[in-house]
Structure 1
Amino acid sequence: MKASGAVMGIGENVLQALSTAMHARTSQRRLDAQARAMATLDADVLLHRLVTPSPDRLIMILAALRQGVTAEMITSVTGIARPWIDRLAERADLERELAATPSPDPALIQKAAQAGIGAADLAQLLGTPLDTAAGYLSEAAVSLAPRPVSGSESARIWTRVPTLGNNTPNAPLGKSVVIVGPAFGRIGQSIELDHCCVHAARALKAAGRKAVMVNANAASACGPTDADRTYVAPMTAADLKTVCHAESPDGIILQFGGFKAMEMAETLNQAGVPVLGTPAASTVLCQDRLRFSTLLTDLGIPHPRIGMADTPDAAMDLAETIGYPLLVGSPADRQGRRKTIIMDARMLEQHVMDASVSAANPLLVEQFIEYAIEVEADALCDGQSVYVPAVMEHIELAGVHSGDAAIVVPPYSTPPRHVETIGAMIEKIALELKVKGLLNTRFAVLNDTVYLLEVRPWACRTLPLISKICDVPMAQRAVEIMLGMTLDEMDLSRRLLPHYGIRSSVFPFDTFTETDPMLGPRMRSIGQVLVMADGFGMAYFTSREAAGPALPLDAMS
């Protein structure tokens, strides 16, 4: 097994640091679901599962300890050193005590907070709403407060820890802007967004602002001197509110934290935190596939036909209306990680049965444009005009995840008239959405028609690539737009590139030899390379040599 990313947790003791890392690694909803699932298993089953290491091992250890399994027994089946299990046993004892106490007293709440049990965990243990759990912490004079890791306010690395009583808050930097980085160090995504965060911090400093970073990635490309302060904290609305309450920033930038950061924009706005850039409503609209389809129809922009089905029969009828092949998935899967290509009615019938389609679990059914060329573009928009440095063409046909497909800049086979059409579509949709900052768009070109597939008003993995190939610091320019500059003031050049740039993906199939290497809508790559050369052939050949496996040198290879 190989890890796909990393997070960091910092606290005043092991349990606080571990709790922070757990919340940074995954969402509270997933943690709650895991805890409930483990609670249904008996001790013997848990011990049997603990023998084999797994991503859920830590949750299973806590579940076993809650059921009375001794630390000695867990050490014997896992091989984990006893002192670590003893620390977890302390937390499990506290959790059992809290769960058995309908109205915990302030002393017990304080003890729990010192062991890393926060409001969300407390709500789960007590079976109460989050607001009630937060009230218990408030009554016990427990609050989250930022604290420098070194103990000195001049330190650049900070965290947030539970504090007891009325502590004097640390002084904010003043005239600052908070930059939210990626939630965790996911391979194939995080390093690109970290690149954006670093360039954003530089742009803020050049504009005379202090840069405050929030990032839970231990392997972050953002060094300790890139930002004036870096908070090692999970990317949750509660943590971001804590940082903003302490720093009183002029605003917060979410566009470099990916979709997870952008979906918190409305919550932060309601809490009085000024979110810089694109309106939160535009982000919500882009992720609502049905509403967005209606908008594209109103704007006269071709796009795949789409619909929602809440019964198996409705799914079959909708498929006949749209036509095969189809791309199906859950409406809740906003990032498309679990989409499946359906080629005919038999495949759909089996999928509908497996997915248990119902009113509570509807199915999103979308036209899949087969044998199309997929094209992608990153753009800047200031609300009045749009700048597209270049269009990126996927070498694989549409249907391969954009993180897996090889990408060439400028387009190698897309006709210039289609490139112009793509630019016009981007301008129309960006101005309609009132984008201020970055925009990523995906298109499919088939039979002389350009279809708009997706719009994401935030930084995506291609942004550093297009910045390097076109020599345009896109992230810095986006921050300048958020601070009030216009594209006209930047005087960005539009020119033909004198070279080709190709991004090729790295896959793990040489290690996982029994894995099906067929590419599709779910991302499989674990890395990437970027190569630039005067000609397309040399650029592609070199990129495959770097990413592996290399192209054959003769017909017999």
Structure 2
Amino acid sequence: RLGVELIGSDLDAIDKAEDRELFNQVCESIDLPISQAIACNSMEEVIKAAEELGSWPILIRPAFTLGGLGGGTAFDMGQLVEIATLGLRNSRINQVLIEESILGWQELEYEVMRDTADNATIVCTMENIDPMGVHTGESVVVAPLQSFSDADHQELRDKALALIRELNIKGGCNVQFAFNQFTGEIRVIEVNPRVSRSSALASKATGYPIARMAAKIAVGYTLDELPNPITGEGTTAAFEPTLDYVVVKIPRWPFDKFRTADRTLGTSMKSTGEVMAIGRNFEEAFLKAWASLEQGCPYPRPLTRADESEGEGMAERAHEQLPDSVLVDWLRIATDRRLGALLEAFRRGWSIEKVHEITRITRWFLQRFEHIAQMESDLVNMNIQPSSMDYNTIIRYKSHGFSDAHIADALNGFKPTGWKALPDHCNEENVMLRRHELNVHPRYRMVDSCAAEFAAKTPYYYSTYEPYQDDGIDHVPDLAKRNKQRMVAIGSGPIRIGQGIEFDYGCVHAVMAIRSAGMDAVLINNNPETVSTDFDTSDRLYFDPLTSECVSEILLREKAHGILLQFGGQTAINLAQPIEQRLKHLAGKGAEVQILGTSVDGIDEASDRERFEAFAKKNGLRMPNGSTGTSADDIRKAVDHIGFPVLIRPSYVLGGRGMEILSNEAQLEAYLKEAYLAPDKPLLVDEYLGHATELDVDAASDGEDVLVGAIMEHLEEAGIHSGDSTCFIPAQNISEDMLTKVAEQTKIIGLGLKIKGCFNIQFAIQGDDLYVLEVNPRSSRTVPFVAKSSGLPLAKIAANVTIGIPLSKQTIPKRTSGQICVKAPVFPFIKLRGLDPAPGPEMKSTGEVYGSDTSADIAYLKARLATEVPVASAGGVYLTVRNEDKEALVPVAEELFDLGFTLYATPGTADVLRSSNVEVTTVYRINERKHPDALDLMRRGDISFIVNVPTISGGAVRDGNMMRRLAVELNIPFVTTIRGARMETAAIRALIEKEIIPRKLEVHYDSKFL
């Protein structure tokens, strides 16, 4: 229609791969075995298909969705109807495949590349540890295949190549198989005719740039014409990668923040990110991957009753062993806890056969987990201190992935007080000192894609202690040949709630600035999904855990001059104190490293409540009344002094983890029951500022001057986490005098804390008063939004400051004007059942989208449409708000009625609207258990938009939660604030009455560094 040619795989190939019915026909035409399955386009067809299959469980696979959205495994008709309803709704062609279950079979993936001349190659093979029934994005994945014979591999390879040729795919694709380890049967599961999540993993596992090669093929190149970027001219892209190492990927789940969510893993993804690690054997790669997860302990620690209760500080239960019955459940049901449960089972002496019978995990992997448990047991029984460990013992454990902290804990008998509270003589530091005394350091091997058959040229490394000889292989270039200053940037680790891809943006731009300044940019990260882990982003890339041990060893090997911590989010900032404590030791070993940017003391002054309160008082800055406490009694006294409602949160966290607004004594006691209280981990208690407007400010300082990047106004009032708020640049409802005051206080804070580089401040405006809520002495998640909205490459500017280029010596681009930009959050509620979708002080969003225009309503509308939650244009609106907001709702309701919507409301809200002559239909509250209520109207399709401002009464909380959950499942938009209702209504009017015109960034500024 528009005269645009689709290059690469054509539409026919995509349809055959994504349409379940067509795909099955293709497989049958070339005699590839598939599971018995029936494509369905309605619920009647789904029920009929289930009857034809005749046995449970049944697998539901929606067509044309990502991450298994809307899919699942049904064990009875009720579950089938529930899952299939969601699947049909989320499929772009309203189609689901009803399929016989092959639960318990092994799942395998082949990443394949094919060109227009029919040259095809297998880029990477991958094996899922979790058996069929768990989405591959939710499974622990190992590359290359570990438990298969070469004959089995060759058979699967032939089938993968035959399938990609029959589908006529040009470029990269991912083929998934199921394998019955008892009978040898094979089933083709699906093909992704595109670059996928697995492609990113395969690219980082092999160094083969799949997306780049797919793009080259799409414009006409053939594989034999393209040089392999890993080996340069040594081989072409047609050369099949060969790995002489093991790669392990572990997903990162959000259940540490979402404790009420259903943790069961199935065919729909719930993880927010993943980590990858490389080792010379499975044990080494697995334990390095675990250390990369940043879950509080750098290894799978023994499980206790404290884990069952889910409270982080359940000290009284930390001494009680997890009951065997609970352990069996954690093994049988796939959840995020199963990995730790596997090791725990072998610590208790359970046999491989017993664990295999419960989990159906391949015996080869179970043997590896048993080996780790046996090695731990040997350490526990040694009865020695780190200073007595001999060279061979240390090498044995380090070559199997044991961190210094893991070794120290095992020597100490895994005391339940936690890995950071070990006695002085038996801790991570002393294991490191003994290791260094014996001159045991990791070697760094290059990811070369050819098992050293050809010379590799890519500066992409991983650490290993095996094989370990004095002349062992170390591929890092000779330091004597390098005369550039070496700056090490710390990446942001796995994507999780509060720490998303925005921080990788900062890392990449910091690296670009370092390289532009003529220095060597060295980057450490462990996330295969990021741009920073592309091997050509930095001068040298180390794919290793972001722990003080691994980072220290790389600083030592590089003889680094500086380390940048402020661009990797809280992951990097949390390394500041541990790295500072090791600087003297590193200097003694020849590495004179400086922590660049804001000093560790400056970071602590900004983050420590008492120190920052003293700073604020000294500089005339206003803060909400607050206090800190390290015991339950401290917290109760603080709340008594401040008065309800209060905002309570841990210190030194990102994404508002553990943050809640408490309104009464019962809520306080429930919070304290689960809270982790310790002298080094105080809780912060603040006065809750109701009806306040929150602002975010991103800025950069060089110690002499401050550059304010942008002042962002939040749509939602203070109390909703900034990461979950919709925000505007420029601010829309703030006076010029107040904006000037905000800028002045930003400069006072930046200069007073001696910040060098990026920082972020959160302010609140209540009436005419300006409050400082929080200062983050690092790059923030809004830095990319600021850059794209203002034209200021703030991350690059701040990175230049950290490496010694002051603001006065930099060319600062002219700030853009004339456009309004909106950042809107994207939430994972559709995949995380059991979670209340209402935003609050703890962050829940997993991403964000952007919209810009010359008017606020269109800019907001563009951002909202990008979230893929529809904007209503007709139908019914359900209204229920707390008493204090009922009058403010009236003009919103009037406008919605004027736009042609039918209004429904609960009795109290309806009475207020009628008294203002607004036509409305009264419906029952859900807890009245009369009909029709909101749930009835939603299920009938009568509701297209909901305004629900929650109250804290028990019945209203339950009603609101049920309604919001159903709204998520039915994809009905809802707002939970009056401000949000006003803006959504303006967007609805814009959708109905105005034209939406796309705008490109280049119209406003040079986007090269944005």
Which category of TM-score, normalised to the shorter sequence, fits these structures?
over 0.9
Corresponding residue of 2:572: 261
Q: Does structure 1 residue 158 correspond to structure 2 residue 469?
A: no
- Structure 1 residue 228 corresponds to structure 2 residue 532: no
Code of the aligned partner of 2:287 = S
CA shift for structure 1 position 6: 0.6
In percent, how many aligned pairs have the same letter?
29
Aligned counterpart for 2:432 among listed residues 134, 151, 154: 134
Quick check: 41-50 or 93-102, which moved more? 41-50
2:499 and 2:569 in contact (8 A); partners too = no
Alpha-carbon distance between aligned partners in 2 of 1:436 and 1:504, rounded to the nearest angstrom: 29
Alignment partners' CA distance in 1, 2:434 and 2:663: 54
Q: Distance in 2 between matches of 1:248 and 1:57?
A: 40
Structure 2 equivalent of residue 149 of structure 1? 447
Work out which of the residue numbers 488, 505, 518 in structure 2 matches 1:208.
518
Secondary structure class of the residue paired with 1:284: helix
| CA distance in 2: counterparts of 1:57 and 1:291, whole angstroms | 42
Are the counterparts in 2 of residues 142 and 165 from structure 1 also a CA contact under 8 Å?
no
Q: For the residues of structure 2 that align with 1:181 and 1:203, how far apart are their CA atoms?
A: 15
CA deviation map 1:46-79 (0-9, x unaligned):
2332001121211211111121111122122112
Q: Deviations over 1:110-152 (max 9, x none)?
A: 3322222232211111113224433554576632233322256
Specify whether residues 512 and 214 from structure 1 end up closer, same or farther in structure 2 by C-alpha distance, changes over 3 A only. closer
Shift of the 35–301 alpha-carbon distance from structure 1 to 2, 3 Å rule, reads same
Q: Does the aligned pair in 1 maintain the 2:298–2:403 contact within 8 Å?
A: no
Q: Report SS of the residue matched to 2:371.
A: helix
TM-superposed CA distance for 1:321, in Å, is 3.0
> For residues 311 and 255 of structure 1, do their structure 2 counterparts lie closer, same or farther at Cα, with a shift above 3 Å needed?
closer
- 1:481 equivalenced with 2:749 (yes/no): no
Mapped contact 1:255–1:459 kept (Cα < 8 A): yes
> C-alpha separation between the residues in 1 aligned to 2:652 and 2:785?
29
User: Cα distance 1:165–1:382, how it changes in 2: closer, same or farther (>3 A)?
Assistant: same
Out of 217, 224, 246, which is 2:557 matched to?
246
Amino acid paired to 1:197: C
User: Which residues in structure 2 correspond to 1:325-364 (within 5 Å)?
Assistant: 325-331=645-651, 336-345=656-665, 347-348=667-668, 351-352=671-672, 355=675, 363-364=683-684
Of 504-513 and 133-142, deviating more is 133-142
Determine the C-alpha separation between the residues in 2 that align with 1:356 and 1:134: 29
Tell me the distance in 2 between the aligned counterparts of 1:438 and 1:356: 30
Greater shift in the superposed pair: 351-360 or 470-479: 351-360
1:370 to 683, 690, 693: 690
The answer to whether residue 420 in structure 2 is matched with residue 117 in structure 1 is no
2:799 is paired with a residue whose SS is helix
1:338 CA displacement: 0.6
5+ residue gaps, structure 1: none
Are 2:274 and 1:6 equivalent residues in the alignment? Answer: yes
- The answer (yes or no) to whether the contact 2:713–2:728 under 8 Å persists in 1 is yes
Q: Deviations over 1:221-240 (max 9, x none)?
A: 22221111111111111111
Q: What is the correspondence of 1:441-480 to structure 2 with a 5 Å cutoff? A: 441-480=761-800
CA shift for structure 1 position 42? 5.2
Which is greater in Rg?
2
Once the two structures are superposed, residues 351-410 of structure 1 have per-residue CA deviations (whole angstroms, 9 ceiling, x without a partner) of: 456659898986532111111011001001111111113211111111111111111111
1:218 corresponding residue in structure 2: 528
Larger displacement relative to structure 2 (542-551 or 183-192): 183-192
Residue type matched to 1:82 in 2? R
**Conservation of the 8 A alpha-carbon contact between 2:458 and 2:535:** no
CA distance in 1, matches of 2:780, 2:439: 41
After superposition, give the CA deviation of every residue in 1:208-263 in whole Å (9 maximum; x if it has no partner).
Answer: 11111000111112222111111111111111111111111221111111123123
The 3 A distance-change label for structure 1 pair 317 and 391 is same
- Asked whether 1:57 is paired with 2:303, we answer no
Cross-structure match for 2:375: 94
Tell me the amino acid that sits aligned with residue 714 of structure 2.
H
Does 1:48 pair with 2:329? yes
Aligned to 2:730: 410
Question: Against the structure 1 CA distance between its residues 537 and 183, is the aligned structure 2 distance closer, same or farther, given a 3 Å change threshold?
Answer: same
Change (3 A) 1:91 1:458: same
1:109 touches 1:140 (CA, 8 Å); kept in 2? no
* C-alpha distance in structure 2 between counterparts of 1:344 and 1:61, whole Å: 41
TM-score (norm 1): 0.93
2:445–2:463 Cα contact (<8 Å) kept: yes
Relative distance call for 1:550 and 1:246 in structure 2 (3 A) is: same
User: How far off is 1:15 after superposition?
Assistant: 1.1
The Cα of 1:18 is off from its aligned counterpart by 0.7
Gaps of 5+ in 2: 1-264, 308-319, 413-425, 588-592, 875-895, 902-943, 945-1010
Matched, 1:516 2:820: no
Do the aligned partners of residues 535 and 239 (structure 1) sit closer, same or farther apart at CA in structure 2, a change above 3 Å counting? same
Give secondary structure in 1 for the equivalent of 2:274: coil
Is 1:323 matched with 2:643? yes
Higher relative CO (CA 8 A, sep ≥ 6), structure 1 or 2? 1
Once residues 527 and 77 of structure 1 are traced to their aligned partners in structure 2, the CA distance between those partners, rounded to angstroms, is: 36
Q: Do the aligned partners of 1:378 and 1:439 also contact (CA within 8 Å) in 2? A: yes
Q: Residue 23 of structure 1 aligns with which residue?
A: 291
Q: How many angstroms does 1:153 deviate by?
A: 7.2
2:382 is the alignment partner of 1:83: no
The superposition leaves residues 299-344 of structure 1 with CA deviations (integer Å, 9 ceiling, x where unpaired) of 0011111113466665444334323321123446576411111224
Question: 1:75/1:508 Cα in 2 relative to 1: closer, same or farther (>3 Å)?
Answer: same
- Give yes or no for contact 2:290–2:300 (8 Å, CA) kept in 1: no
Maintained 8 Å contact 1:290/1:306: no
Structure 2 counterpart of 1:451, which letter?
Answer: Y
Number of equivalences: 557
Q: Distance in 1 between matches of 2:835 and 2:792?
A: 39
Question: Could you tell me how far apart the structure 1 residues matched to 2:461 and 2:681 are?
Answer: 42
What CA deviation, in whole Å up to 9, does each residue of 1:478-517 have, x standing for no partner? 1111122222222425646210111111122334465322
Moved more, 441-450 or 491-500: 491-500
Instruction: Provide the rounded CA distance (Å) in 2 between the counterparts of 1:278 and 1:466.
Output: 21
1:302 maps to a residue whose letter is: R
TM-score normalised by structure 2 residue count: 0.52
CA 371–30 in structure 1, closer or farther in 2 if over 3 Å, else same = farther
Q: Is the Cα–Cα contact under 8 Å of residues 607 and 651 in structure 2 kept in the other structure?
A: no
Indicate conservation of the 8 Å contact 1:12/1:161, yes or no.
yes
* Residues in 2 aligned to 1:307 and 1:458: alpha-carbon distance in whole angstroms: 24
Greater alpha carbon shift after TM alignment, 266-275 vs 457-466 = 266-275
Give, as a single letter, the amino acid of the residue that structure 2 aligns with 1:508.
P
Q: Distance in 1 between matches of 2:377 and 2:830?
A: 46
Say if 1:334 and 1:290 are closer, same or farther in 2 by CA, change over 3 A.
farther
RMSD over aligned Cα atoms: 2.6
State the AA in 2 paired with 1:41. Answer: L
Match of 1:71 in 2: 352
